Amino acid sequence: MPAGGGPGGAPPPPVSVRAVAAFLFAVFAYALAAHLQVMDRWMERPYLLVFPIIGAAGAGGLGYSVSTGATGSRSGWSR
């Protein structure tokens, strides 16, 4: 059986995860539309965009590991 627990892969993410993702997307869209100072700072100093990109990559990696059921057993530790 696949690591996701069922035939065909991992189950879909819970409703709460989808709701949080939708909320964060809405807040980001509002920040773009409202021209908040933070957006001006990101445009003036493009290197500041590295931090949200790192955060998005970390969130994506965490979501992937949770959805695939990764246990971290590569290091030899067991639960």
**Tell me: the pLDDT tens digits for 24-50?**
889 888 877 887 787 777 778 888 878
Does residue 21 form part of some domain? no
Residue 44 domain-assigned (yes or no): yes
SS3 state at 6 = strand
Residue 26 lies in a domain: no
Provide the residue range defining the domain that includes 62: 35-66
In a domain, residue 53? The reply is: yes
pLDDT at 45: 87
What pTM value is reported for the model? Answer: 0.45
Mean pLDDT of the chain: 74
The residue with greater pLDDT, 1 or 13, is: 13
Measured distance between the N- and C-terminal CA atoms of the chain, rounded to whole angstroms: 20
Report yes or no on 60 lying in a domain. Answer: yes
Nearest to 20 by CA among 48, 70, 62, 53: 62
Single out the residue of 1, 10, 13, 23 nearest to residue 69, CA to CA. 10
* 3 domain residue, yes or no: no
6 assigned to some structural domain: no
Report how many domains make up the chain.
1
